[in-house]
Chains A and B, each alone.
Chain A
Amino acid sequence: MIFLHLIVLAISAVLGLVFAYFAIVEEDLLKAVIYSAGQAVAYAIAFYILMAPDVLLAYIAIAVGIYTALLIFVISKTERREVIS
């Protein structure tokens, strides 16, 4: 039965790594913000499997709600694309 917990934990940790990589190398900043929100959901599942419900409640409201809204406000007032050249 411990295998079930650890398999879900391993899958969510690897998903968090993949989403973090896509968020960093993406040039369209709006897509990067959405990938970062996906990474926050993967880490929230990891927090639940590690038996930390207090941290989960604070973290999911802040990372998926506040950070995404804050970054979309900032992008709408500044630039949308990141120019690498």
Chain B
Amino acid sequence: MKKVHAVTACIIVLFVILLSFVLTSLNMAPETEEVRTLGKFFLENSYFGDYSAMSPEVVTSILWDYRGLDTIYETSVFFLAIISSLALFRLGNTIESEKHSEDSGPGLSFIVKGIVKLVSVMIIAVSASIALHGHLTPGGGFQGGSALAVVPLLVIVAFSKFALEDLGFTKDRAMVVRSLSLVGIALVALFPLLYGAYIMQNQPIFPARIGGQLTSGSLILYNIFEYFAVGAGFTAVFLLLATPEKIFKKLLGVKKE
């Protein structure tokens, strides 16, 4: 990197230290030692209280039980972004059917291919564990789904995009999996209406323990469906991004200056 940038970075760090020294001597640094009353309500009521969600993990119970509608809207924003990206990279029917006749390259060396095969299985196991234990420890559907999204990326880079499609993970099937998972989330959200309760109500409609294990009612169902939805959504995005450029250059020419 250039010398100018390194010197400027040192000057910025010295300036930050000087400014914080000034701030401390004026006694203006804010610090808190008590939890606010709203946070205290969630901490007290998440497992033992009157408005209990039967889950010792407070953040997951806020995300899917106390503020469940925020998460439904967030999932729909993510879905809209994927649909818009699909619309931008749309190809005609004839060009899409002759895509597979291109020959893909040899991929990376066989050391990389062997390690990718090993690591993919480990990543799938770890991400499923993160998603399924989201109501007991830190984790949940989003975290597990984002970890699962690394697997199609590794396969596309080490082998080729057509190897991933030959395994059966095409873009249309990924969108079908995502849509079915979103239907699952909607059904679990609307299910309490049959008993005359509110939308997305957790206790006492869903069972808190199944076979002696703590499952926290509807939280585990939401986590499972969100895991599949996020993983399938990212698979569709990476399959779209990995399309070679010459197919698009046949459709529209590039205007160069």
Contacts and interface: CB of A to CB of B under 8 A. Distances in A.
Interface of A: 14, 17-18, 21-22, 25-26, 53-54, 56-58, 61-62, 65-66, 69-70, 73, 77
Interface in B8-39: 8-9, 12-13, 16
A18 B11 CA distance: 11
B245 interface: yes
A54 B245 contact: no
A21 B12 contact: yes
A70 B241 contact: yes
14 contacts: A18-B12, A21-B5, A57-B130, A57-B138, A57-B143, A57-B147, A58-B143, A58-B146, A61-B143, A61-B147, A62-B146, A66-B146, A73-B242, A77-B245
Nearest to B243: A77
A18 B13 contact: yes
A73 B241 contact: yes
Contact of A21 (B9, B147, B150): B9
Given A57-B147, A61-B146, A70-B241, 20 more contacts: A14-B13, A14-B16, A18-B12, A21-B12, A22-B1, A22-B5, A22-B9, A26-B5, A54-B59, A54-B60, A54-B138, A56-B138, A57-B138, A57-B139, A57-B143, A57-B146, A61-B149, A66-B146, A73-B242, A77-B245
Band of interface residues on B: 20 to 34
A54 B1 CA distance: 36
B142 interface: yes
A25 B13 CA distance: 16
Specify the main secondary structure of chain B where it touches its partner: helix
Specify the main secondary structure of chain A where it touches its partner: helix
B217 interface: no
Nearest to A53: B138
Given A14-B13, A25-B5, A66 B149 contact: yes
Contacts of B245: 77
Contacts of B140: 54
B234 interface: yes
Contacts of A66: 146, 149, 234
Contacts of B150: 61, 65
B155 interface: no
Contacts of A22: 1, 5, 9
Contacts of A73: 241-242
B148 to A, nearest CB: 9
A57 B238 CA distance: 21
Given A17-B16, A70-B241, A73-B241, A54 B9 contact: no
B153 interface: yes
Contacts of B147: 57, 61
A13 to B, nearest CB: 9
A70 B130 CA distance: 24
What are the 6 closest A-B residue pairs judged by CB atoms, nearest first? A61-B146, A53-B138, A57-B143, A54-B59, A73-B241, A54-B138
